[in-house]
Structure 1
Amino acid sequence: MTGRVLVARMDNVGDVLLAGPCVRAVAAGAGHVTLLAGPRGRAGAELLPGVDRILTWCAPWIDPEPAPVSPADTSAFVDRLRALELDRALILTSFHQSPLPLALLLRMAGIPWVGAISEDYPGSLLDLRHRVEGDPPEAERALSLATAAGFRLPPGDDGKLAVRRPLPDTHALTGRPGYVVVHPAASVPARQPSALRSAATVTALVRAGHRVVVTGGPGDRPLTAAVAGNHAVDLGGRTGLPELAAVLQDATVVVAPNTGPAHLAAAVGTPVVSLFAPVVPAARWAPYGVPVIVLGDQAAPCRDSRVRNCPIAGHPCLESITPDQVVQAAEELSADRGGGLQTGGVS
């Protein structure tokens, strides 16, 4: 068994949750696992099985709103790494990110073995330069790095997303299980339907006979209030991530854009109607391991652009999704939890 291993995933909560199968594979073959997360992803790290310690640092080459590079802060981070006396490190990144800045800091901290997926020439920074062919789902891409490093999922682990249990009891917030969750917010505007469109979706779901719970973070309260209206339970700002996981677990289906809570729904086993803007590929970033129906024009002009704000007037890739389409998809997933990923373009 390998000794003390660090796994780094320094993006948002959803990215950290997608690293879960990789983390569990490492944990099955390591004596101790430290997860290095950014401040935006720490709450997700706290829910991952297999993590013994969480180290948080804001990487200025990854965070979307980084502070200026500070030599003192960087040196202090290297000192913290050195004090952990780590034996190995695996660096997980998205395809457009380089692992090499972090690999350099890990070397400076004295970590003797470092592995990562890297298209860039790593020189002496990496012991394992792993390559991934094609465009697999992000969870599988990350797990492939662990496999290449000699770590395997333990017997009986299905490789899906997962969270630590038990989860909190949230029935006082939601009532009995069996509702539909609508989560209208995303981390960037290009991935988020308008408040009017989300409110119309809630109204259509209620008219179709469904109880609806609307979720969101503290900063989403004006949005969730507008979307819930008088038709749904508004939980905007009323749950931490463990409570949100419990709320999603008790739903029959979750309706959400490409956002962390969609991956959290997958991690608790709940099907997802994914309102997916094609600024990143759905094949890679759609919720993983549960029945999913992807709605949205995946051939829209914004495809693969990674833009934060939609460049097309009217945001057609998401605004063209009708409430009736969402209701139909939600009822299909509620009736049959055994389905797989289905991609439906919206004209």
Structure 2
Amino acid sequence: MAAARPGRGTPGRRPRAGPPPRPGPVRRRGGPHVVLPVAVAGRLPVPPRRGAGAGRRVEGVRGAGLTHWVPAPPDASHQVDRMLHVLERVGVPSAGAELRLDLPPPARVEAREALARRGIGAGEPYAVLLPGASCPARRYPPERFARVAADLSAAGLAVVVAGSAREAALVAQVTGAGRATTTGPVPPARHATTTAPTPRTRRATVTGETGLGVPGLAALIAGSAVVVSNNSGGAHLASASGRPVVVLFAGTEEPAQYAPRGTPAAVLTVPTSCAPCRQLRCPYGLECLDIPPPDVARHALRLAGGG
């Protein structure tokens, strides 16, 4: 590891050669001990401000405002392993590669109350659908999410389409179309070893939820039978909660770098010659997400049933 002097980590400046320095104690009055900028959706990370209060500002690429520069691990490494690699090089020990989510009790209460308001009783299995993502190139089309919601509802599984307040229009689009869509029975998934929730004589609830904060949304996910999500934060919350998840993975990134680990998962994508594109918008009609909704529903029902 090479260390750059504070304020001298500008692009193009070669770091000082030599053995990795021994990280010294971090003295601070407040703020984080370490800042680790992370790239999002193909964009380079924004360098932290020098006055951010952190004793160490670290990245795997050179940038202004950094105190340490760490050579990046192999491109094929999972993002969790990449972050741990960088942190370990500056003296932050690993506590393991498994994601873990500790929910505060008020968040669980908030999620239960939200479900009750929407007619989903305690102990009733439900699926969480998360149609949002940080950029359009990562979003499975809402009309297809609606068909998935309708198929799960027809199979007897209540559906909560969730998102942030800014995604209210998207959530309404999915829930409205999901309620209106009529579908036939969903055939069982191939190689399923257990059954999904028993179909009812009437369709189960399809409802929307955009009033929860991040802790409440995490609790909603943690109590679900299965999550269907784009490659976004919701998929990682499901993984950290140990919940089964279907990830609709766009070609913006390498699936091996972001796929859930340690929880039952189905990562669905269509290989394309342009992937990974690292683009915010797709000029090719999202060919990488041309996944039939019935296939998504079958995988979700298989995972909800423990398959």
Q: Is the 8 A contact 1:224 1:234 kept in 2?
A: no
Shift in alpha-carbon separation, 1:123–1:234, aligned structure 2, 3 A: closer
Residue 160 (structure 1) aligned with residue 133 (structure 2): no
C-alpha deviation, 1:324, in angstroms: 1.7
Q: In the alignment, what sits opposite 1:171? A: 112
| Max Rg structure | 2
User: Distance between the aligned counterparts of 1:123 and 1:226, measured in 2?
Assistant: 42
C-alpha deviation, 1:181, in angstroms: 1.0
User: Distance between the aligned counterparts of 2:127 and 2:244, measured in 1?
Assistant: 10
Q: In the alignment, what sits opposite 2:72? A: 131
Q: Is the 8 A contact 2:70 2:89 kept in 1?
A: no
Shift in alpha-carbon separation, 1:233–1:31, aligned structure 2, 3 A: farther
Q: Is the 8 A contact 1:276 1:282 kept in 2?
A: yes
Identity of aligned residues (%): 28
Counterpart among 240, 243, 268 of residue 267 in structure 1: 240
Shift in alpha-carbon separation, 1:128–1:306, aligned structure 2, 3 A: closer
C-alpha deviation, 1:146, in angstroms: 2.0
Q: In the alignment, what sits opposite 2:6? A: none
User: Distance between the aligned counterparts of 1:148 and 1:288, measured in 2?
Assistant: 23
Q: Is the 8 A contact 1:181 1:254 kept in 2?
A: yes
Given residue 191 of structure 1, which amino acid in structure 2 is its aligned partner? R
Q: In the alignment, what sits opposite 1:285? A: 258
Given residue 287 of structure 2, which amino acid in structure 1 is its aligned partner? P
Residue 195 (structure 1) aligned with residue 135 (structure 2): no
Given residue 301 of structure 2, which amino acid in structure 1 is its aligned partner? E
Residues matched between the structures, number: 249
User: Distance between the aligned counterparts of 1:225 and 1:232, measured in 2?
Assistant: 14
Q: Is the 8 A contact 2:47 2:66 kept in 1?
A: no
Residue deviations 1:87-125, cap 9 Å, x none? x534243396667943x826x9794x554323x4x7995
SS state of the match for residue 267, structure 2?
Answer: strand
Q: Is the 8 A contact 1:179 1:251 kept in 2?
A: yes
SS state of the match for residue 209, structure 2?
Answer: coil
Residue deviations 1:249-283, cap 9 Å, x none? 11111001112222122222212100111111111
Q: Is the 8 A contact 2:128 2:162 kept in 1?
A: yes
Counterpart among 66, 76, 82 of residue 141 in structure 1: 82
Q: In the alignment, what sits opposite 2:275? A: 303
Q: In the alignment, what sits opposite 1:89? A: 34
Residue 117 (structure 1) aligned with residue 60 (structure 2): yes
User: Distance between the aligned counterparts of 1:207 and 1:110, measured in 2?
Assistant: 52
The 4+ residue runs of structure 1 with deviation greater than 6 A are: none
Given residue 311 of structure 1, which amino acid in structure 2 is its aligned partner? P
Given residue 154 of structure 2, which amino acid in structure 1 is its aligned partner? R
User: Distance between the aligned counterparts of 1:82 and 1:327, measured in 2?
Assistant: 51
Normalised by the length of structure 2, the TM-score is: 0.69
Q: Is the 8 A contact 1:208 1:327 kept in 2?
A: no
After TM superposition, list the pairs within 5 Å mapping 1:1-347 onto structure 2.
84=30, 89-94=34-39, 101-102=47-48, 105=50, 111=55, 114-118=57-61, 120=62, 126-154=67-95, 159-166=98-105, 167-169=107-109, 170-174=111-115, 175=120, 176-177=122-123, 178-229=125-176, 230=179, 232-297=205-270, 299-313=271-285, 315-318=286-289, 320-336=290-306
Given residue 129 of structure 1, which amino acid in structure 2 is its aligned partner? V
Gaps of 5+ in 1: 1-29, 33-80, 338-347
Q: Is the 8 A contact 2:253 2:275 kept in 1?
A: yes
Q: In the alignment, what sits opposite 2:199? A: none
Shift in alpha-carbon separation, 1:296–1:97, aligned structure 2, 3 A: closer
Given residue 162 of structure 1, which amino acid in structure 2 is its aligned partner? L
User: Distance between the aligned counterparts of 1:187 and 1:228, measured in 2?
Assistant: 20
Residue deviations 1:20-71, cap 9 Å, x none? xxxxxxxxxx999xxxxxxxxxxxxxxxxxxxxxxxxxxxxxxxxxxxxxxx
Given residue 140 of structure 1, which amino acid in structure 2 is its aligned partner? D
Shift in alpha-carbon separation, 1:93–1:303, aligned structure 2, 3 A: same
SS state of the match for residue 134, structure 1?
Answer: coil
C-alpha deviation, 1:296, in angstroms: 1.8
Q: Is the 8 A contact 2:81 2:97 kept in 1?
A: no
User: Distance between the aligned counterparts of 1:226 and 1:140, measured in 2?
Assistant: 37
SS state of the match for residue 279, structure 1?
Answer: coil
SS state of the match for residue 291, structure 2?
Answer: coil
